[in-house]
Amino acid sequence: MICLKSKDLLTRTQLESSWKMQGLTTSRQPDGETTRLIVIDLRDGDALEQISQSLEGFPQAQVVAFGPHVDGERLKAAKTAGAHTVLARSAVKDKVQEMAAKLS
């Protein structure tokens, strides 16, 4: 299962719809049993805290952070905070689908 943490309705709808069309299960809250990927939108004000909480609370899950490619500082901060993968927003849909396929 993919847990998507984004406060932006448009982003959430686009990504969830795309992943569901590929047969992937999505949620807005991680589940210790089935969550394999936690995807965090770096535009959310508390994104770096969400990364830390996800790493601590769900060690079985891969944490993926994404944000605008022009926000290099935020992308670097996500990597420093421990995100396993950091992506530009333009790459998140396809890369997460690829990662989910490998984890199934």
CATH of the domain at 34: 3.40.50.2300
| Whole-angstrom distance, CA of residue 37 vs CA of residue 54 | 10
As for how many domains the chain has, the answer is 1
Q: What backbone torsions phi and psi does residue 88 show, to the nearest 5 degrees? A: -70, 150
Q: What backbone torsions phi and psi does residue 14 show, to the nearest 5 degrees? A: -65, -50
Selection from 79, 98, 93, 77 nearest residue 4 by Cα: 93
pLDDT level of residue 18 (50, 70, 90 thresholds) = very high
Rounded mean pLDDT of 86-101? 95
Return mean pLDDT, the chain: 95
pLDDT level of residue 6 (50, 70, 90 thresholds) = very high
Full residue range of the structural domain in which residue 99 is found: 2-103
pLDDT at 33: 84
- Percentage with pLDDT > 90 across the chain: 92
The C-alpha torsion from 18 through 24 and 26 to 30, rounded to 10°, is -140
Q: What is the pLDDT of residues 19-61, one digit of tens each?
A: 999 999 999 999 888 999 999 999 999 999 999 999 999 999 9
Please tell me the pTM assigned to this model.
Answer: 0.94
